[in-house]
């Protein structure tokens, strides 16, 4: 889309083509709407022979938002991924960096990245962004989400004021709603009304599932303003279900890479380090499974306490046996097996040449020595 001026600037109706192309790409709610809008644009401006647009249309299922919104991308596009990688190395690596320097620069960049992430986690735990509404749902996200993600949710709950909701169809467990949202067109003050369908499904266990046609939650992991409107004002749901609060956005999430013991100043890999990493890999997999169930959690904690007591007893037993052996060796007149207690100072060995006390001194040293003696007296 950044190539629109380069590819289409030569057309007389360039501004109209650009405006309609952006609307078709970004504002199409579903695939049918996109197909109709694209065909209308092509025929209206006689763009059938434009090779660039034809190539974009052939690959539409890989980049048009309405085709990929069912997949979770955390709100990131393909260009953002490459741009973030370039930004990661800004200030550390350039075209003249050698391979030897790259290893050190990469290590510094990684260290800086980890420090920034730790600082961001600290800010999320130590500072709180105030709520803008009295709803318990906002308070729930404030307590669970990081500050950055809470701001995204806060934007959605504020924009609920631009939405109106009406019921289309309902039965005992399925409710269909239509949410009309007033939106600004681009940077202008022109207003338009966009309609979204929201489906609310309630099961027998008082749990629910809700889906919106905009698919913001499926794409970015943040529930949209249309769902919030239905939950608060139509279904009287004031606290969100835990399945709509993603673990990856929580402020207390424990990331595997942050729990790994890392040294940034050395590449030494010892046997102890390899054993530590092997135990950690197995341990974290078990912890993730146990954290989802209270019975598993209690069983795992009990097992750890038994192992700790058993291994601690064994270590004390080994230490006691070593001290007992030393006492028996002393009583029998044997030398202790611990060599550290019998280490003596090294034997002094006389160096060749005149001893230091008999070494000839210069006149300056003799004068200074005599002056010191006088001062002492």
Which residues make beta-bridge pairs with 145?
A: 250
Pick 98 or 113 by higher pLDDT: 98
> Which residues on neighbouring strands pair with residue 198, listed in sequence order?
177, 212
Distance CA 224, CA 160 (A): 9
Residue 341, pLDDT score: 44
Average pLDDT on 242-258 reads 77
Pairwise CA distance, residues 82 & 89, whole Å: 11
Q: What is the mean pLDDT of residues 193-198?
A: 92
SS3 158: helix
pLDDT band, residue 350 (cuts 50/70/90): low
pLDDT band per the 50, 70, 90 thresholds, residue 265: very low
Under a CB-based contact definition with an 8 Å cutoff, are residues 173 and 240 in contact?
Answer: no
Least confident stretch, 35-39, 130-134, 141-145, 371-375: 371-375
301 vs 338 pLDDT, higher one: 301
Other CB atoms within a 10 A radius of the CB of residue 364 amount to 8
- The maximal CA–CA distance of the chain, rounded, in angstroms, is 115
Q: What burial letters (b/e) apply to 83-97, b meaning 16+ CB within 10 Å?
A: eeeeeeeeebbeeee
Query: Which residue, 211, 174, 176, 248, is CA-closest to 70?
Result: 211
Instruction: Mention every residue, 6+ apart, whose C-beta is less than 8 A from residue 226.
Output: 163, 165, 179, 181, 196, 198, 212, 213, 214
Which secondary structure element, helix H or strand E, spans residue 202, and what is its range? strand 191-202
Over residues 15-30, mean pLDDT: 89
- Out of 71-75, 86-90, 260-264, 369-373, give the one with best mean pLDDT: 71-75
Q: In what order do the strands lie in the sheet with 163-170?
A: 163-170, 174-184, 191-202, 208-212
Using 50, 70 and 90 to split pLDDT, how confident is the model at 152?
Answer: very high
- Cα distances from 250 to residues 64, 73, 138, 140, 288, in angstroms, run 30, 17, 14, 11, 15
**What pLDDT does residue 334 have?**
55
Residue 40 confidence class, pLDDT cut points 50, 70, 90: very high
pLDDT tens column, 289-312: 888 788 888 888 888 888 888 887
Least confident of 162-171, 179-188, 311-320: 311-320
> String of b and e for 299-334 (b: at least 16 CB within 10 Å)?
ebeeeeeeeeeeeeeeeeeeeeeeeeeeeeeeeeee
Instruction: Look at residues 340, 324, 343 and name the one whose alpha carbon lies nearest to residue 332.
Output: 324
Give the lowest-confidence range in 9-23, 108-122, 125-139, 238-252.
108-122
- For 313-341, what is the mean pLDDT? 56
């Amino acid at each position: 889309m950044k190539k629109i001026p380069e590819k289409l600037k030569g057309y007389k109706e360039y501004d109209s083509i650009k405006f309609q192309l952006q609307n078709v790409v970004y504002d199409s709610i579903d695939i049918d709407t996109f197909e109709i809008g694209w065909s209308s644009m092509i025929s209206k401006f006689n763009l059938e022979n434009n090779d660039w647009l034809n190539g974009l249309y052939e690959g539409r299922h890989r980049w048009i938002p309405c085709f990929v919104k069912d997949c979770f991308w955390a709100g990131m596009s393909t260009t953002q991924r490459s741009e973030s990688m370039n930004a990661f190395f800004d200030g550390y690596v350039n075209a003249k960096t050698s391979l030897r320097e790259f290893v050190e620069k990469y290590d510094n960049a990684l260290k800086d990245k980890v420090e920034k992430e730790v600082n961001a986690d600290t800010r999320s735990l130590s500072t709180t962004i105030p709520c803008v509404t009295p709803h318990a749902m906002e308070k729930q996200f404030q307590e669970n989400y990081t500050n950055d993600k809470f701001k995204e949710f806060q934007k959605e709950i504020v924009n609920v004021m631009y939405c109106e909701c009406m019921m289309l169809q309902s039965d005992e467990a399925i409710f269909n709603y239509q949410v009309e949202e007033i939106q600004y067109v681009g940077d202008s003050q022109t207003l338009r009304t966009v309609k979204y369908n929201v489906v609310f499904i309630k099961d027998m266990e008082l749990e629910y599932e809700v889906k919106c046609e905009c698919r913001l939650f499926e794409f970015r992991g943040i529930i949209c303003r249309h769902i919030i409107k239905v939950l608060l004002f139509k279904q009287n749901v004031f606290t969100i279900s835990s399945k709509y609060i993603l673990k990856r956005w929580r402020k207390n999430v424990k990331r595997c890479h942050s729990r790994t013991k890392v040294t940034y100043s050395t590449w030494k890999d010892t046997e102890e380090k390899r054993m530590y990493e092997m135990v950690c890999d197995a341990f974290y997999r078990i912890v993730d499974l146990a954290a989802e169930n209270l019975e598993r959690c209690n069983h795992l904690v009990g097992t750890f306490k038994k192992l700790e007591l058993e291994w601690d007893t064994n270590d004390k037993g080994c230490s006691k046996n070593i001290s007992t052996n030393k006492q028996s060796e002393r009583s029998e007149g044997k030398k202790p097996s611990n060599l550290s207690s019998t280490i003596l100072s090294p034997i002094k060995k006389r160096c060749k040449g005149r001893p230091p006390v008999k070494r000839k001194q210069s006149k300056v040293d003799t004068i200074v020595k005599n002056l010191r003696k006088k001062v002492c007296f």
